[in-house]
């Protein structure tokens, strides 16, 4: 019988390790690269105008400074190359606060498990922090990779919903990660 104990399964762990670091002023280029790209914004209603970038960037920095919003730059370990962003915030919906997460990985780094790993790290931080409760996500119905990321992170698809994003009405899947499931609170 063949001894398989020394065989390493390349799919058993992500080929790239990532870390999350707080978004800072110098990360403006990431917001610009992601939000003005027709490719990156294909499932989010198309690119945003360049003129919107300063305001978006400023709101991210302000939200971070006030600890209202978590906005992280996703970096490759150990070299620190910035490859995307991931965030968590709360909105009042029907009189109650609802926590929502969103993510983007630069096109050239996609398909390597980085968004899934970044979301795993974000959930671990949220668990440690304890304030976020259930976490919701709204990928467009046609956004195969983003729906896959939700599924792989243990979110449950609770149905379709029309979501208003940057003035666009988007047909989205509504995914929820139950607070009890990830240990928050």
* Helical H segments across 93-157, by residue range: 114-129, 144-152
Query: Does 135 interact with ligand COA (rule: CB under 6 A)?
Result: no
Segment interacting with ligand COA, rule: CB under 6 A, options 15-23, 25-33, 53-61, 138-146: 138-146
Query: Does 145 interact with ligand COA (rule: CB under 6 A)?
Result: yes
Q: Would you give the DSSP letter of residue 104?
A: E
Query: Does 48 interact with ligand COA (rule: CB under 6 A)?
Result: no
Nearer to ligand COA, 6 or 23 (CB): 23
Nearer to ligand COA, 40 or 184 (CB): 40
Query: Does 139 interact with ligand COA (rule: CB under 6 A)?
Result: yes
Residue 48, token pair as written in the block: 């945003």
Query: Does 99 interact with ligand COA (rule: CB under 6 A)?
Result: no
Instruction: Choose among 131, 145, 139: nearest CA to 182.
Output: 131
Q: Report yes or no: 177 and 121 within 8 Å, Cβ to Cβ.
A: no
Q: Would you give the DSSP letter of residue 180?
A: H
Whole-angstrom distance, CA of residue 101 vs CA of residue 119: 9
| CB closest to ligand COA, residue no | 144
Whole-angstrom distance, CA of residue 126 vs CA of residue 134: 10
- Interacting residue with ligand COA among 80, 111, 130, 185 (CB under 6 A): 111
Chain residues that interact with ligand COA, rule: CB under 6 A: 40, 43-44, 102-105, 110-116, 139, 143-146, 148-149, 152
């Amino acid at each position: 019988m063949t001894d398989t104990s020394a065989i390493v399964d390349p799919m058993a762990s992500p080929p790239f390790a990532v870390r999350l670091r707080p978004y800072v002023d110098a990360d403006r280029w990431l917001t610009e690269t992601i939000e003005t790209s027709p490719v990156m914004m294909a499932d989010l209603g198309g690119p945003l105008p360049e003129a919107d970038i300063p305001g978006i960037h400023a709101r991210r920095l302000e939200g971070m400074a006030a600890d209202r919003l978590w906005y992280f730059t996703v970096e490759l370990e150990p070299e620190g190359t910035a490859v995307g962003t991931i965030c968590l915030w709360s909105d009042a919906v029907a009189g109650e606060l609802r926590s929502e997460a969103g993510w983007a990985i630069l096109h050239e780094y996609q398909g390597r498990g980085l968004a899934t790993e970044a979301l795993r790290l974000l959930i671990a931080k949220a668990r440690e922090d304890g304030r976020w409760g259930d976490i919701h996500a709204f990928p467009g119905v046609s956004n195969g990779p983003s729906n896959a990321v939700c599924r792989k992170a243990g979110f449950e698809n609770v149905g379709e919903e029309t979501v208003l994003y940057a003035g666009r009405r988007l047909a989205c899947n509504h995914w929820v990660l139950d607070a009890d499931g990830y240990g928050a609170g």
